Chain A
Amino acid sequence: MMTNKTISFSLIGALAATMMYSAAYADKSNDTLNIAVDRELESIDNYYNTAREGIVISRMIWDGLLYRDPATNEYIPNLATSYKWVDSKTLQFDLRSDVSFHNGEKFDADDVVFTMNYLADPANGAKPARNVNWWTNAEKLGDYKVQLNLKTEFPAALEFLSGPVVMYPNEYYGKVGPEGMALNPVGTGPYMVTSVEPGKRYRFTKYDGYHSSSPKGRASIGKIVIRTIAESNTQLAELFSGGIDWIWKVKPDQAQRIQEQGNFTVKNSSTMRIGYLNFDASGRYGENPMNDVRVRKAIAHSINRDGIVQALVKGESIVVNSLCFPSQFGCTQDVPTYDYNPEKAKELLRDAGYPDGFEIPFLAYRNRDYAEAMISNLNAIGITTKFTYLKYAAFRDKVQDGDSPFNFGTWGSYSINDVSAITSHFQKGGKDDYSRDAEVMKNLNIGDTSVDLDVRKDAYKKALSRIADQVFMFPLWSYNTNYAFTKDLDFDPTPDEIPRFFTATWK
């Protein structure tokens, strides 16, 4: 709520001064890691919660059939021992026989079949829908063997099965349902929940019975407490007073000052979220300058992405040239690029018949300072904007109704490490697609439905190259997150923005 920089500076200054004679009280001695998050979770049940904090907690409590190694992005069996594509719409899994849920219930094929069929039923309202709406059903082939029947070819299945789709205990969940699971969650994951105060505090303890063969590895830290503290200054005060050991989403100016005073570790990591400019290339808004590719190219040359990253976005953020995050499957950076060149931009505008520029409505919903920096770049080549800054819901309404010829948005891909989670969302004819280009759509369709990795890569490259060449959308930069934590903790962030506390250790 209180975002006033002056206040933050004063507080950080005062806090830093007090640190000179007050040592940090990390809870290493109690083997308890205290964590603060800034929003109340609607539910701790993995399938009735869309917040990122919920995803983080989900990885602690539950396991999926597979696991994506965040370092190599390789899909490794977790609750499964192996998997194979029977055909392009059928996956078979052999399951581990040595896994038990936190309540002692044995894990077997019945749990997988129950979970997958429960989620596939729209009446149960599991969300987000995209995570659970791509298969028809699951069949039991043996006590430890299951088959998943897909609705259509869906090569990103492995990505979903290695992250958001986790396995529930059939007997327990059948008895208690979502409400019971929200209050007393039970999974197979490295941490078990010991208490839930909805929206307020969650306590976890290391699961000693965690299967040793898990690629996640056994947890090292004994206990974890996650508290909701909405105000960032309070989070900082808790960190400095030793009440909290780990915080994230620290603002760049605050991170810099915490780092400078030297008592905490500050790490920065690029995330999968990227910023973009979206243009009305196909005329959904009506006739406007953005229909002309020369204007779009002029704008691409006018934006000083490097300068904005260095001055405002900061951290590990990088300029991206392709409409995706580099680590995502199929995300080639080998596409036409546009350097910062205002003179060339003016020339392109002249060629397009706008020697004196023009005025255009421009929408944004976050990072007003970044938007204003870009507006300044545009002004330099003669383009003036009618800038409107909206809440996300209103922004989305306007954009999807075709009421925005030019806007600045961001997309996090739901931490799905696959191009289909971003490029296909924006460029395959959906409500956010302002280019509706047949060639792009054809190639994205091929990429989204083939299980042949080379075919996918080739199709996505064609689509991404065409998008870049025609500047249907202009990718800007990746985002980043600052993490601040006690020096006693060894913690490594990952680009998917899902902190894995089960890999953290005390020094």
Chain B
Amino acid sequence: MFFYAFKRSLLAILVALTVSMISFSLLYISSDPAIAMAGETASDADIEAIRELYGFDRSIVVQYLDWLKKAASGDLGKSYYFRTDVSHLIAERLPTTMTLGLCAIIFAIGLAVPLGVAAAIRPNSIIDRVALFLSVMGQALPSFWFALILIVLFSVNLRWLPVSGSDTWLHFVMPTIVLGYYAAPAIMRLTRTGMLEVLSTDYIRTARAKGLRPPVVLFKHALRNAIIPVVSLAAVQFGFMLGGSIVVETIFALHGAGFLAWESITRNDLPTVQGLILAFSLFYIILTLIADLINAWLDPRIRIS
């Protein structure tokens, strides 16, 4: 198990390195970072000063290796734009993204698993149809459109919730629903499929024949087995929420790490982009590892193998 986790981590680190190398190159290829950073109103002197200050006149390989060396020692450098430590910047923005991601994944699981189970218990019933409808809607609704509709309804019209910001828990209600609802359909469909498969197995029939109460059969025997792929999926979805909540963070003016990533890319703020890619990659590594450990705990066969 330990060797397996070690191998997976090593592979993930290599992936993270490759991603950082590609993103570093892409940012250079898209445009001259000195001009992009200086902005439209900058003079030639400003651009030259930036080029010299940040060493953009050196080769891209030298610049990348220089960044990598510092990153290995824990120094992610200074943001070209904000002139503060990238690690400080990420640490400042991460709590908002983490809060949103955690709330959204809890909302998604809370909505999707019960609905998936209910749909599996009564296939082709009205519950199944409602679950299917919600699932299709979740997949089909563009998140920015859904977000704007919620804003119109709950903020502008009913005035129950604030439109944007992150000052109180109320500010997270709509972003959580939007982000969580987008992730829910996949979890819901996987739960339903898993439950249907497990419920038709011999050991469930045996359990029922033994006279076990239906909730015990359902939750202790069936769900525990059906949920294994859902755990892996939820981990991936959570990783996506941490790194990919750009649209939601932008619409609700949440100023989290996703929004920072988007803004940093448009500003060619290389150290911040690289730092965020590293951070997001690490999230994926950790989440995948946690998912593997939970699966091993849920299914003894994995531990034994």
Q: Which A residues are within 8 Å of any B CB, using their own CB?
A: 1-2, 7, 11, 14-15, 18, 22, 40, 42-43, 48, 50-51, 122, 125, 127-130, 133, 178-179, 182, 198-200, 227-231, 233-234, 237-238, 240-241, 243, 391-394, 396-397, 412, 414, 430-431
B window 142-178: CB within 8 A of A: 144-145, 148-149, 151-152, 155-157, 159, 162-165
Q: Which of B144, B156, B251, B255 contacts A228 (CB 8 A)?
A: B255
Instruction: Write the chain B residue with the least CB distance to A409.
Output: B40
Q: Does A18 lie within 8 Å of B44, measured CB to CB?
A: no
Known: A179-B83, A229-B164, A230-B250. A18 touches B38 (CB 8 A): no
Q: Does A393 lie within 8 Å of B144, measured CB to CB?
A: no
Q: Does B157 lie within 8 Å of A18, measured CB to CB?
A: yes
Q: Does A7 lie within 8 Å of B156, measured CB to CB?
A: no
Q: Does A233 lie within 8 Å of B253, measured CB to CB?
A: no
State the main secondary structure of chain B at its contact with A.
Answer: helix
4 nearest A-B pairs in the assembled complex, by CB-CB distance: A393-B31, A129-B45, A393-B35, A393-B36
Known: A1-B250, A42-B81, A394-B31. A237 touches B155 (CB 8 A): yes
Q: Whole-angstrom distance from the CB of A127 to the nearest CB of chain B?
A: 5
Instruction: Write the chain A residue with the least CB distance to B154.
Output: A241
Q: How far is the CA of A198 from the CA of B162 in the complex (A)?
A: 21
A-B residue pairs in contact (CB < 8 Å), sample of 17: A1-B144, A2-B144, A7-B148, A11-B148, A18-B157, A42-B81, A50-B39, A182-B83, A198-B82, A227-B165, A237-B164, A241-B155, A241-B163, A391-B30, A394-B30, A397-B31, A414-B41
Q: How far is the CA of A182 from the CA of B156 in the complex (A)?
A: 34
Residues of chain A within 8 A of B159, CB atoms compared: 22, 241
Q: Which B residues are within 8 Å of any A CB, using their own CB?
A: 30-32, 35-36, 38-46, 49, 53, 81-84, 144-145, 148-149, 151-152, 155-157, 159, 162-165, 247, 250-253, 255, 259, 262-263, 268
Residues of chain A within 8 A of B157, CB atoms compared: 18, 22
Instruction: Write the chain B residue with the least CB distance to A229.
Output: B253
Q: Does B35 lie within 8 Å of A231, measured CB to CB?
A: no
Residues of chain A within 8 A of B156, CB atoms compared: 15, 18, 22, 237, 240-241
Q: How far is the CA of A262 from the CA of B262 in the complex (A)?
A: 36
Q: How far is the CA of A238 from the CA of B44 in the complex (A)?
A: 39
Residues of chain B within 8 A of A397, CB atoms compared: 31-32, 35
Q: Does A125 lie within 8 Å of B251, measured CB to CB?
A: no
Instruction: Write the chain A residue with the least CB distance to B31.
Output: A393
Q: How far is the CA of A128 from the CA of B164 in the complex (A)?
A: 33
Residues of chain A within 8 A of B45, CB atoms compared: 129-130, 133
